[in-house]
Structure 1
Amino acid sequence: MDAQEELDRLSGVFFTQGEFVASVSGTTTPVVDPATAQEIGAFPHVTAAEISDVVRAANVAQKAWWAESGLHRSELLHEVASAMRRISPEVAEIMTRETGKPFKESSDEMMWSVSATDYYAEIGRHSVGSVIGTSVAGQMHYTLKEPMGVVVVILPANFPVLLLMWEAAAALAAGNAVIVKPSEYASLTTLKFMEAFEALPAGLVQCVTGGGEVGRQLVSHPETHMIGFTGSVPTGQAIAKACAEQFKPCLVEASGNDAFIVMPSAQLRTAARAATFAAFLNCGQVCTSAERIFVHEAVYDEFAAMVVEETGKLRIGNGLGKVDLGPMEHAGELARFEKVLARALEQGAKVVQGGGRPEGLPVELQQGFFHEPTVLTEVTPDMDVMTEEIFGPLAPLCKVDSFDQALELTNSSQFGLGATIYTSDPVEMHRATNEIVTGMVWVNAPLLDNDAGPFGGRKMSGLGRQLGAEGLDTFRHTKMVMVDPAASEQDFWWFPYSDEESFTPEA
């Protein structure tokens, strides 16, 4: 594949009814390679009329899709997974060029997406309801699981394929059609990925590009039936409010500010490597990144030295090279992150590793949106960096004097996505899993996902769950059915009421 030729082919189009179609919109936005800051393509802001056509096609395709057998839907979803494997190198390359992440991470994302698709291809046909014990003899009572209809998936740029398939695979397995609205910073990647759906009926999966106005039209459209959103708290709140006006179901995965606890019994070198990975994976642009690292005072200095050592080993550069960290997604994110770091230093934190733009990059990368992975010490719980989402390459180390203080500070956040603890103490393990108020807790195993287990948060981290059986039901309605085959007279509660059951005044 000639990457630039492919980026040119994908520029200016959207994906509808199985084809790439040039938008009639006169408005486009340049796509910039974050490693070089050079323009590599453009995406259109589709028109309201184009959106209406896409929604109409999705509704037609969804009805036909749901009319198929569960086995047929499963077989086609497995074909989608196979196609994803075939096109993985090409999509991963474009993802790296557009988002900056290392090619290894882009490739991993594709394979994780394949796994989720194969998983939902199977459990989607496992059960579409259940028979329940009757409340009246001779009747049949059961539930049916039915699709929402047309599901809109609105995505961020940090995991443009994985977060799509966590929702789209479940939605399709449940019998829905899917309309994708990608991030403005991963639109060409998402368009390229549409090739994976070639085996599906035309119109079942479509992709429209643009900014917030495109998202608003999809959310408010009366013929879209559910919204799945991953992104910021303010946008998630706006979507939830808009959905509430129509009582439209929504899934919102918003921000995180995950804690990473290190106790004296932890295997410190392993914990230091884990914290380095958890803080700097995808340049820290992960909703479950370790953003508040609470370290017991008994091991704080030793642990901090290890994290500095591990961080110093990381290679920075173009994601298509032999590197561990690429650039941040775009110039705006880099500028925002630098303000976060400057505020931490203003409040008294100390840089012990990194702290600025990397030096010694090749000439072609010197305008890229790179920042060194940075470790901070002398961080206190009241600092802004410990209360807001960082979403960048920063590891703030905060000293605690006890396990109880670590738990208290962990739970003090307005967010509740995930948390990690490193310890060898079974009591601390047990207490952490039961007392930490988050949707996920990792004990000595940070950031792992499992297709068969739910992903999601509490508090300001969002609503609903992805993955697992719960993630499938997120995209299904439940219908209660009661059948009396004999059409029996139900005089035990029908009119006329018996005189014996009427009110009798006391004598």
Structure 2
Amino acid sequence: MTIIENRAAETATASATRDILNPSTGQVIQTVPEHGAADVDRVVAVARDALENGPWATMRPSERSRVLLRIADEIERSTEELYRLEAQNNGRPVTETRAQLSRVPEWFRYNAGLLAAQRTAVLPSDGPYLTYQRRAPLGVCGIITPFNHPMLILARSLSAALANGNTVVVKPSELTPLTTLALLPILERAGVPAGVVQVVTGAAEAGRRLTEHPDIAKITLTGGTETGRSAAVATARRFARMTAELGGKTPVIVFDDVDPREAAEGAAFSAFVAAGQSCVAGSRFLVQRDVYDAFVEHLTARAAAIRVGDPDDPQTQMGPLISARQRGKVAELVDSSREEGATISTGGGVPALDGELAGGFFYAPTVIADATMAMRVAREEIFGPVAVVIPFDDEDDAVAMANDNPYGLGAGIWTHRLDRAHRVADRIEAGMVWINDHHRLEPSLPWGGIKESGIGKDAGIESFDEFSWLKTVVTRIAPDSVDWYGGAGTERLN
């Protein structure tokens, strides 16, 4: 904890502080500054000075690429410290945080590779002209990250922003800032110059000021849809760029040509990983009627067998929700399904745990059967370990139900028929579609949704290019001069 405490102290000018809780016990594990608007102004000024007067933006691309590779190496050397810290801070089991954080270096290596291989175009022009393009850093970029995947989501944007020569201000979730703070000395050891990456550890006031700040050239935000809507208005006022991954209500379509046990056991991951606290959590299982009962039976058995407990125990398969408030929201939605006539086939309450864990924010893995598309649990984002199972009749019915939602982030399809898989994938309104799997991602895969699930892409070359601006340079190479008003060169205009 020493590194975190020192780094938090370095950035602290706020008089207020915030207690960071371990959600598996409800106990305080760290205190960090509660930064506000004035603190954001201060750190943005530092980042702008580093952009304009430091070496990062003007460093040769090959040198920046080597720094990103060193960041990846330093993160790998610190992986055990980081994944244990993340498990303590957001409650995900160490088996999940270890698997996820072990992949974080890939994003830095991928963007280092894109930078090393970057080419700009020479464009065709009529007449005696050489026309080419150059790319330049956007400037100071703001990255706002959520509580559920703080390190991985930060790495996706930070690696692309740094590769392009930008400086960055990060505002992690006020609930889970610890791995972000722990990253600062790692970046320093890798050779990132002072001031290039700044962190503010505030809540809504800090996030709002970051999105509104006139010196922020781009905002990357992962969070709720209403937060994203407010940020989009703020950035649009000054024509800043914005990428937003927002809410989701992911449909998982199970057709009757797959074994219901196979589908239930495979798709359970989509509903219960991270205790369901994922924007692409499979919270709506649309199951063809002929296999519906069998699927519910197998999904119920799998959910009931999930080991809930201490995130630091390698045997634990699911940890707590992030807060008492979030657990209350999940419980209220589950209760509403009972009132609307659904059946709770397993879960639906707080599990009985002993000792310190009794003070944690746990909720049992829950399966809701006999649901309809009209129910709140089928329409609202739950963000908890709750799988809602709804029957459908045929392919058209499944597609219509899947698309009957304001969100469009992800979707899953379970079928062994190749023609059906691709046909349905084409018809689904979502930015990501998985067939016979879920939540698979790579640094090269553009991540992002449509409709109320956000705008833009994170990861992939699409994200890399969005952290720079494109300049076109037109050079006349003819030996003669142009004198429009004297009659020379008047054969064309524009």
How far did residue 438 of structure 1 move? 0.8
- State whether structure 2 residue 150 is matched by structure 1 residue 160: yes
Partner of 1:10: 4
Q: Which of 31, 35, 60 pairs up with 1:42?
A: 31
Aligned-partner Cα distance in 2 for 1:171–1:442: 28
Q: Tell me: CA distance 1:128–1:51, structure 2 relative to 1, closer, same or farther (3 Å).
A: farther
Residue 331 of structure 2 contacts residue 348 of structure 2 at CA under 8 Å; is this kept in 1?
no
Q: Could you tell me which amino acid in structure 2 is paired with residue 40 of structure 1?
A: I
Q: Deviations over 1:234-274 (max 9, x none)?
A: 11010000111111111111101110000011243321112
Residue 413 of structure 2 contacts residue 425 of structure 2 at CA under 8 Å; is this kept in 1?
no
How far did residue 138 of structure 1 move? 2.4
Q: Which of 209, 212, 234 pairs up with 2:204?
A: 212
Matches within 5 A, 1:308-457: 308-321=300-313, 322-359=315-352, 361-457=353-449
Residue 267 of structure 1 contacts residue 423 of structure 1 at CA under 8 Å; is this kept in 2?
no
- State whether structure 2 residue 185 is matched by structure 1 residue 181: no
Q: Which runs of 5+ in 2 are unaligned?
A: none
Q: Which of 15, 18, 21 pairs up with 2:10?
A: 21
Partner of 1:106: 97
Residue 12 of structure 1 contacts residue 22 of structure 1 at CA under 8 Å; is this kept in 2?
no
Q: Which of 174, 183, 197 pairs up with 2:187?
A: 197
- State whether structure 2 residue 283 is matched by structure 1 residue 291: yes
Q: Could you tell me which amino acid in structure 1 is paired with residue 51 of structure 2?
A: Q
How far did residue 485 of structure 1 move? 2.8
User: Mean alpha-carbon deviation: is it higher for 75-84 or for 119-128?
Assistant: 119-128
Residue 267 of structure 2 contacts residue 437 of structure 2 at CA under 8 Å; is this kept in 1?
no
Q: Tell me: CA distance 1:59–1:424, structure 2 relative to 1, closer, same or farther (3 Å).
A: same
Residue identity over aligned pairs, in percent, reads: 33
Aligned residues: 486
How far did residue 172 of structure 1 move? 0.7
Q: Tell me: CA distance 1:398–1:48, structure 2 relative to 1, closer, same or farther (3 Å).
A: closer
- Give the 3-state SS of the residue equivalent to 1:201 in structure 2: coil
Aligned-partner Cα distance in 2 for 1:488–1:166: 50
How far did residue 148 of structure 1 move? 0.9
How far did residue 109 of structure 1 move? 2.2
Q: Which runs of 5+ in 1 are unaligned?
A: 1-5, 15-19, 502-507
- State whether structure 2 residue 262 is matched by structure 1 residue 270: yes
RMSD over aligned Cα atoms: 1.9
Partner of 1:504: none
Aligned-partner Cα distance in 2 for 1:489–1:387: 67
Q: Deviations over 1:156-197 (max 9, x none)?
A: 100000010110001111111111001011112221122221
How far did residue 87 of structure 1 move? 1.1
Q: Tell me: CA distance 1:480–1:362, structure 2 relative to 1, closer, same or farther (3 Å).
A: same
Q: Deviations over 1:376-396 (max 9, x none)?
A: 110001111111111110011
Residue 36 of structure 2 contacts residue 205 of structure 2 at CA under 8 Å; is this kept in 1?
no
How far did residue 11 of structure 1 move? 4.6
- Give the 3-state SS of the residue equivalent to 2:299 in structure 1: helix
Partner of 1:120: 111
Q: Deviations over 1:406-426 (max 9, x none)?
A: 001111110000100000112
Which 4+ stretches in 1 moved above 6 angstroms? none
Q: Tell me: CA distance 1:59–1:443, structure 2 relative to 1, closer, same or farther (3 Å).
A: same
- Give the 3-state SS of the residue equivalent to 1:225 in structure 2: strand
How far did residue 204 of structure 1 move? 0.9
Residue 128 of structure 1 contacts residue 144 of structure 1 at CA under 8 Å; is this kept in 2?
no
TM-score, normalized by length of structure 2? 0.95
- State whether structure 2 residue 456 is matched by structure 1 residue 467: no
User: Mean alpha-carbon deviation: is it higher for 36-45 or for 274-283?
Assistant: 36-45
Q: Deviations over 1:53-73 (max 9, x none)?
A: 321221232342121111100
Q: Could you tell me which amino acid in structure 1 is paired with residue 121 of structure 2?
A: S
Q: Tell me: CA distance 1:11–1:330, structure 2 relative to 1, closer, same or farther (3 Å).
A: farther
- Give the 3-state SS of the residue equivalent to 1:129 in structure 2: coil
Residue 328 of structure 1 contacts residue 334 of structure 1 at CA under 8 Å; is this kept in 2?
yes
Residue 62 of structure 2 contacts residue 115 of structure 2 at CA under 8 Å; is this kept in 1?
no
Partner of 1:86: 77
How far did residue 490 of structure 1 move? 5.0
Q: Deviations over 1:275-306 (max 9, x none)?
A: 21100000000111101100000111111111
User: Mean alpha-carbon deviation: is it higher for 449-458 or for 23-32?
Assistant: 23-32
